[in-house]
Amino acid sequence: MATTLTPVADDSAFSEFLAKETSKGLLRFTTAGSVDDGKSTLIGRLLYDSRSVYDDQLESVTKASAGRNAGAIDFSLLTDGLRAEREQGITIDVAYRYFATPKRKFIIADTPGHEQYTRNMVTGASTAELAIVLVDARKGVLTQSRRHAYIAGLLGIERLVVAVNKMDLVGYDQATFQQIETDFLRILESFPQIQAYFVPVSALAGDNIVTRSANMPWFTGESLLEHLETVQVGTRAQDAPFRFPVQRVVRPNLDFRGYAGTVVSGRVSVGDRITILPSGRQTTIARIVTFDGDIESAETGAAVTLTLAEEIDLSRGDMIVTAEHLAEKAHSLETTLVWLNEKAAQVGKRYRFKQASRMDWATLKQVQYRLNINTLEHEQEQTLEMNAIGNVVVETARATAFDAYQTNRATGSFILIDPATNATVAAGMILQAAASETSHRLTEVTCSLEDGVLRIANEQGFDVKIGAEGMKVTDPEALDALRHFLERLRIQPFDADKTDWEI
Amino acid sequence: MSVRTHLQQLEAESIHIMREVAAECQRPVLLYSIGKDSSVLLRLAQKAFHPGPIPFPLLHIDTTYKFKEMIDFRDKYTAEIGAKLIVHTNRAAISEGANPFAWGTQRCCGGLKTAALLEGLRQGGYDAAIGGARRDEERSRAKERVFSFRDTRGQWDPRNQRPELWNIFNTRIHPGESLRVFPLSNWTEIDVWQYIYAENIPIVPLYFAKLRPMLVRGESLMPIEQPFVPRLPGEEPQMVMCRMRSLGCSPCTGAIYSDADTLPKIIEELVGMRRSERQNRVIDHDQDGSMEIKKQEGYF
């Protein structure tokens, strides 16, 4: 874009440094620990030692520290956000922190480790590629360590760092560290998909945080930061089959029809044979369009616009996948739900169901079991309270195209929204199609003629009106009613799961 | 398989967020503040909707005390990229004589920014306002959601925010409620500058160092564009080599000493800088946690 407004870049020696700076990688990690494990101190230390804390912020926490029982700088205050919790000295929500080294930029999802805050840990872990679990060297492996490992595994985290903290308080004792490593490895036997790295640290004293500690010459591994800078992540999505949930149909003029979205796994190239789900239609990729010009192929994480070789009717919520490896398709799904809301899960109730870019309705059919997060035992329960985790059969109104969450985070995850309050009430991970899968679910449909307008309604009261001016459908629910009605008449007028009817 | 850079990942995430807003919200608007973050937002919006136009208007809340160079830039740049610009001002407050010296900073901001914003959003019937705020700007923003829920009075309740998992955003609201959406949540100040550099994005010239007339008061450099800025006895403006680190209203935005007149020099300066970017904004220093209080009242 030629413009007089564009600043002119110079070519100082600093430009070389900049070229490197603008091409570093990104690691998203989460931290879990109990209230006194020193997690806030650890994060404060990482921010401070990487010079991500400014002097004025430091001054303001040094001032604040004077009123609490803390040393010269209370690192934990750097990460405490809201006033109310600063006063209580406890963090109650997920906070995001940022720091960077010459090798990587880091996004930390800092989650409180208190027992009742499973939902925060789950939220933080959902976007993380790696989790740091803190263990107090004086206390050893506790029940919550198992909980942290379980949640990391449940949310599909591939890498775990076990930071054995407060080593200064156990005289930097090697045997203590080794015992904790042994105990923790025993827990991890149940989670074979997790790779773990153990590091003995003192967040307060800075041992093995940025540089290797002279106090623990027996430890020959990388410091915590060295490990974070080099550990390989993100390969699972890159190696998975191509998936592209359609976010928007882009149609600026009659000559262009494209589909905007993000490549959530695998890669796509011009000419690739693709299938559209749930309709099952096939075609090939014609163009991959971006603001910076067309590209030949797009990899995992790229936000692009695809055009297809043939005009196929598809809309937001559909998924474009490689024809060589389709996603699964089902109405009835076996899922793991984490309940996030004070109002407990209700079997039989309908919730809004959002998976990737698709909004649908889902009914909770059956709670198969609730998981005891401390013993990992299955408990018989009819409901899930806030912070409970359980396996639940969920039935969606339209067919859901998905992959199992453990093979594809982006296409195997969903949230449930309470239709009355609009609160996000659950996080869901799809395990597989439920055994009781049925292809047709008929709900009660009523049909009436009012002033020349044919009105079709289902039990939820959503309706479809067909009159002289055409058909008006404003909600997927209404479309369901119409579909069920027509199914009863044994008419198959609908093209797959099309939803955006406007006639 | 090449690993995508942090800027590519941040860009893709922001594009995803903008597209979700355009797809699911009824009447979105982009809050355009003319600053560097707004410039980045606009570029991301262009990328998100290419080859189509940006499918929502830009709303600028004009306090009438913005730097003249900002307004010139705003009009020229938005016209150049073909964006639809709406400007809203709290005229009633202006005619009552609102300015930071007559009213005090808190009350002036409350009238010309917070009230004007809520009024502008209400008049347009907007249900989602996209803004350029970042979580790294201030401690109270660290827990802010990407889709931040506001009640029917436009207010923010830290206890009534929805958990956000993966990149699945809940955009459902009842009539009268609204969302503030922050596509740059995960960007830091340095990411923004690196992106401006990498993408060659136009920004207001005030960010670049130049000799400018300033009132020099200790460490503070006060711009004198507005005639009502009071002077101490015998005080005269001096020509100072300086630039703005963040942009706002001229009476309340301090300049910093700097000779950084190119993007690489700005980034180089930033890397060595030990003061956070809000430090130079007078508005944040009324009391500890003041941003949190402003937000609860409806300030962006």
Mean pLDDT by 10 residues, chain A (503 residues): 42 68 88 77 83 58 49 56 48 80 90 72 94 93 86 93 95 97 92 93 92 94 95 90 97 94 97 94 97 96 96 92 95 96 94 96 96 88 92 95 95 97 96 70 58 65 64 61 61 48 41
B41 min Cα distance to partner chain A (Å): 14
| Rama region for A250: left / alpha / beta (φ>0; ψ in -120 to 50; rest) | beta
CB within 8 Å: B264 and A417:
no
CB within 8 Å: A234 and B3:
yes
Residues B51/A250, Cβ–Cβ less than 8 Å: yes
3-state secondary structure of A347: coil
Position A438 in a domain: no
* Residue A35 in tokens: 């209230």
3-state helix, strand, coil in chain B (%, to 5): 40, 15, 40
CB within 8 Å: B168 and A105:
no
CA–CA dist A499, A42 (Å, integer): 49
User: A318 with A333, same domain?
Assistant: no
User: A228 with A272, same domain?
Assistant: no
CA–CA dist B150, B296 (Å, integer): 9
pLDDT at A144: 81
Domains and CATH numbers, chain B: 6-195+289-297 (3.40.50.620), 205-285 (no CATH)
Residues 6+ apart with CB under 8 A from B53: A252, B82
Residues B40/B196, Cβ–Cβ less than 8 Å: yes
User: A317 with A333, same domain?
Assistant: no
Position A14 in a domain: no
User: A265 with A187, same domain?
Assistant: no
Residues B6/A26, Cβ–Cβ less than 8 Å: yes
Q: Return the half-sphere exposure (C-beta side, CA atoms, 13 A cut-off) of residue A6.
A: 14
Query: What b/e string do you get for A143-169 counting C-beta neighbours within 10 Å, with b at 16 or more?
Result: ebbbbbbbbbbbbbbbbbbbbbbbbbe
Q: What is the mean pLDDT of residues B199-204?
A: 95
Q: What is the complex's ipTM, to 2 decimals?
A: 0.89
- Residues of chain A contacting B15 with CB distance shorter than 8 Å: 262, 303
Q: List the domain range (segments joined by +) for residue A470.
A: 445-488
Q: How confident is the model at residue B285 (pLDDT cuts 50, 70, 90)?
A: very low
- Residues of chain B contacting A56 with CB distance shorter than 8 Å: 275-276, 279
pLDDT tens-place string over residues B23-52? 999 999 999 999 999 999 999 999 999 999
Measured between CB atoms, which of A83, A250, A422 is closest to B52?
Answer: A250
pLDDT at A348: 94
Instruction: State the total domains in chain A.
Output: 4
Q: Tokens 């490992």 — which residue? A: A149
pLDDT at A441: 40
User: A284 with A334, same domain?
Assistant: no
Residues A423/A407, Cβ–Cβ less than 8 Å: no
Position A493 in a domain: no
Q: What is the mean pLDDT of residues B74-81?
A: 96
Position A191 in a domain: yes
CA–CA dist A130, A470 (Å, integer): 53
- The better pLDDT of the pair A374, B109 is held by B109
Comparing alpha-carbon positions, the chain A residue that sits nearest to B208 is A7
Q: What is the mean pLDDT of residues B200-210?
A: 96
Comparing alpha-carbon positions, the chain B residue that sits nearest to A22 is B194
User: A195 with A295, same domain?
Assistant: no
User: A205 with A337, same domain?
Assistant: no
* Residue A383 in tokens: 């409901």
Measured between CB atoms, which of A261, A291, A414 is closest to B168?
Answer: A414
A423 min Cα distance to partner chain B (Å): 6
CA–CA dist B131, B45 (Å, integer): 12
Position A396 in a domain: yes
- Out of A275, A290, A322, pick the residue that ends a domain: A322
Q: Tokens 């100082």 — which residue? A: A12
3-state secondary structure of B256: strand
- Out of A271, A302, A322, pick the residue that ends a domain: A322
Q: How confident is the model at residue B234 (pLDDT cuts 50, 70, 90)?
A: confident
User: A43 with A175, same domain?
Assistant: yes
Measured between CB atoms, which of A54, A86, A340 is closest to B275?
Answer: A54
What is the percent of chain B with per-residue pLDDT over 70, rounded to a whole number?
A: 90
Torsion of CA B284, B290, B295, B297, to 10 degrees: -110
* Residue A459 in tokens: 């039990």
Q: What is the rounded average pLDDT for all residues in chain B? A: 88
CA–CA dist B142, A47 (Å, integer): 14
pLDDT at A383: 94
Tell how strand A273-277 and strand A281-289 pair up: antiparallel
CA–CA dist A344, A388 (Å, integer): 9
Ordered strands of the A25-32 beta sheet = A95-100, A104-110, A25-32, A130-136, A159-165, A195-200
Q: For residue B294, is pLDDT > 60?
A: no
Which of B17, B147, B166, B193 has the most A C-beta neighbours within 10 Å, making it the best mutation to test the interface with A? B166
Say which DSSP state B5 is in. P
CB within 8 Å: B23 and A422:
no
